[in-house]
Structure 1
Amino acid sequence: MLYQSPLTAKFHRAFTLTSGERQALDAVRIRIVAIGANQNLVREGDQPSRCIMVLAGLASTSKVTGDGKRQVTAYHVPGDMPDLLSLHLDLLDSDVRTVSACSVGFINHSAIRLLCERHPRLAANLWRTTLVDASIFREWVVNVGKRQALGRVAHLLCEIMLRMEDAGLASDQTCAFAVTQADLGEATGLSAVHINRTLKSLREKRLTSLVNGQLTIHDWEGLAFLSEFRHDYLHSARTNKTAEFMSMH
């Protein structure tokens, strides 16, 4: 089997690559590193010269308040490039951390800039990626600011399932989601005790379960209705098809 780099695989999920685009992507050097859970990949204030690509596991973007409280503002699944903005911003305004043990790829900015200069479609897709990230950030603001606890957690679980399906990492409405209750609390603005009660309620309603790092949605329509979940903010043709399929089951 011919080698296909993780970067090539990422773009191939978005559109059919030309032979020139594929060759250019496969030629990009990616340094792959295994990193344990709860480790900083980049910190607020850093000025990185490379971008991160999540290859396996779960990462997050977050900010920490003066009294040490962390607010997670996004989760990143395999295929995501959480600090792509560092290509054009002088310094990072957030931390990017591993949530679970991860495999990550480091790609030099110079290599990505060269791709963008020589291959406009690849540049356009990276620009689109940052726009989708911004759309997800906006939805998270609404989720934390306006939804009640049950809907807040349910909405997050719906999002993770569709994004993992989009990455080809979900089957039969089950996917890996190796988070603790404290992790979920940081992502939803709820205490660990409140998260425990909320997950219990979702189980009792037979909507979803989160056991041993595995998320299963038992009733997609019920969970989506509870959280007022609309998948359009993910802007993915594949997740749109998945949402339509799930709504029929």
Structure 2
Amino acid sequence: MESLTRAGLTPELAHLLNDMPHRVVAMDPRRPYRDPGTLRDEVMFVQSGIISKFKSDGMGRRQIVALRFPGDGILPREGIADYGVQAIVRSEVLVGAAADFDRIVDAHPDLGRFFWRLTQRHVNIGYEWLVNCGRRDSTARVAHLLCEIAVRSGAARDRMINPFTQQQIADITGQTSVNVNRVFADLERQGLIRRNGREIEFRDWSEIRRVGSFQPTYLE
């Protein structure tokens, strides 16, 4: 459970969760692990990789509405969930029963406070994504996403490995993959990034933050 201790959980509490009955699932990015409309009486913790929550509109077009990195989780809920779960890249996820998780949290209030803070952080990220898709232009949306992913993944400010396909970026930022390709080309022409395969070099971190209106305080 190193990912949870890196997220701020004490080793003692992390061991409690690690001792909870669970299985480790290898999630394949080529297919959903959970479809929308299924029971969600389980808890998930990301050990490696990145997983997403997604929803679809009436035309079957997908919108990725949240990401979970190592140390993040998807907590249980009553009844069915209206979102699906799918890996962005091949990921390992600890999956346990809601009843076992609830018993541990009820017995250890510090765990409840930890997950409350984690939930509030995810709410703040969701608000920022709403502004990103609703008010920023196409270039700013992608620039903001790249800055956020660099910070959340712990990448250096000068470069990172892009974990997304262009279609996944389109599904996050509410665009088409064709338009995302055009935005990347524009960012390169402006001298803000340089691409080498999946590696993205930030050539001017301050400027790409300005273009994306990225203020990282919502990630704290």
| TM value normalised by structure 1 | 0.81
Q: In the TM superposition, what are the counterparts of 1:101-120 in structure 2 within 5 Å? A: 101-120=90-109
Matched, 1:125 2:114: yes
Percent identity over paired residues: 27
- 2:115 maps to a residue whose letter is L
- 1:131 maps to a residue whose letter is Q
The 1:179/1:23 distance shift into structure 2, 3 A limit, reads: closer
Partner of 1:137: 126
Matched, 1:29 2:14: no
The 1:209/1:183 distance shift into structure 2, 3 A limit, reads: farther
C-alpha RMSD over aligned residues: 2.0
Confirm or deny: 8 A CA contact 2:167 2:176 kept in the other structure. Answer: yes
Q: How many residues align?
A: 220
Q: Deviations over 1:195-246 (max 9, x none)?
A: 11100111222222454333432321011111111111112xxxxxxxxxxx
Higher fraction of helix: 1
Higher relative contact order (CA 8 A, sep 6+): 2
Q: CA deviation at 1:28?
A: 2.2
| TM value normalised by structure 2 | 0.90
Confirm or deny: 8 A CA contact 2:37 2:83 kept in the other structure. Answer: yes
The separation in 1 between residues aligned to 2:208 and 2:136, in whole angstroms, is 14
Confirm or deny: 8 A CA contact 1:178 1:214 kept in the other structure. Answer: no
Partner of 2:149: 160
Q: Deviations over 1:67-87 (max 9, x none)?
A: 111111122222221x31xx2
Partner of 1:239: none
Confirm or deny: 8 A CA contact 1:58 1:177 kept in the other structure. Answer: no
Q: Structure 2: any 5+ residue segments left out of the alignment?
A: none
Match of 1:10 among 4, 9, 16: 4
Runs of 4+ in 1 over 4 A off after TM superposition: none
Q: In the TM superposition, what are the counterparts of 1:196-215 in structure 2 within 5 Å? A: 196-215=181-200
Partner of 1:78: 70
Confirm or deny: 8 A CA contact 1:161 1:173 kept in the other structure. Answer: no
Partner of 2:84: 95
- 1:155 maps to a residue whose letter is H
Q: Structure 1: any 5+ residue segments left out of the alignment?
A: 236-249
Q: CA deviation at 1:186?
A: 1.0
Confirm or deny: 8 A CA contact 2:162 2:200 kept in the other structure. Answer: yes
